Amino acid sequence: MSTASFNERVGAALMVLASPEKAVAMRAYMRDQFDYFGVPTPQRRAVLMPIFRELKGADASRLIELAEGLWALPQRECQYAAVDLLARYRKVLALEHLPALFALAQRKSWWDSVDGLAGIAGDVVRAERKRDPACQIHMDHALRHENMWVRRIAMLHQLGWRGETDVPRLFRHARELAPETDFFIRKAIGWALRDYAWHDPHAIRGFLDDARDVLSPLSLREAGKNLSRLP
């Protein structure tokens, strides 16, 4: 199956479910930055699953090539489909494929696509860390990337790790990004800290006390949202 025919199949499947009314609402929600078919996530995933199943056994290069092809299409659901494809076969990806994920994050960039890629990058690093504990240095480098969205990926890559979280690295990343003024970076700092608070609220309380003069009000507010409900 060529990239062109794959794109045609994905586009045709989504077109069947297209809703102009929903497309208008979706476009407005994303500040009119992207075109939409108007297909909600559950329906999108259901209709594309049979197509994605056919790719079982494909290598990482092929999957990335197909994802890049979807990324080039105008409708936003196609970028979501690319993220879903890579997430489905994330075990095929390795550290060497992180640059390809970062490259996608820098095209048609917004929080919706970037956060999906952050989850995939995090899964890749988490799996590799079992073999090479030092591999997270790749995310240290990403934290200093010139592109803000790649830095957001680095800040968010440990979401959901709970007891496997490298806590000193989490706190170091938060401090390193704290001087940035961009809303999405400040929000990511708070989100990453809030996520870890579910596992160790005491550690987050201590960090917020220590870093209160460094973190932005937005990061502090986001990080502390659930602390009052935790032991």
Tell me the per-residue pLDDT of 184-223, one tens digit each, with 9 for 90 and over: 999 999 999 999 999 999 999 999 999 999 999 999 999 9
Q: Residue 35 in 3-state DSSP?
A: strand
Average pLDDT, the chain: 97
- Residue ranges and CATH numbers for the domains of the chain are 1-92 (1.25.10.90)
Task: For residues 116 and 111, give the distance between their C-alpha atoms in angstroms, rounded to a whole number.
Answer: 8
Tokens encoding 28: 């407005």
Q: Is the pLDDT of residue 40 over 80?
A: yes
pLDDT value of position 111: 98
Q: Is the pLDDT of residue 1 over 90?
A: no
- CA 156-160-165 angle, to 5 degrees, is 80
Q: Is the pLDDT of residue 17 over 80?
A: yes
Tell me the per-residue pLDDT of 71-99, one tens digit each, with 9 for 90 and over: 999 999 999 999 999 999 999 999 999 99
Residues 6+ apart with CB under 8 A from 172: none
Entry field: residues in the chain: 231
pLDDT value of position 19: 98
pLDDT value of position 173: 98
Tell me the per-residue pLDDT of 44-76, one tens digit each, with 9 for 90 and over: 999 999 999 999 999 999 999 999 999 999 999
Tell me the per-residue pLDDT of 137-190, one tens digit each, with 9 for 90 and over: 999 999 999 999 999 999 999 999 999 999 999 999 999 999 999 999 999 999
What's the alpha-carbon Rg for the chain, to the nearest Å?
A: 19
| Predicted TM-score (pTM) of this structure | 0.96
pLDDT value of position 76: 98
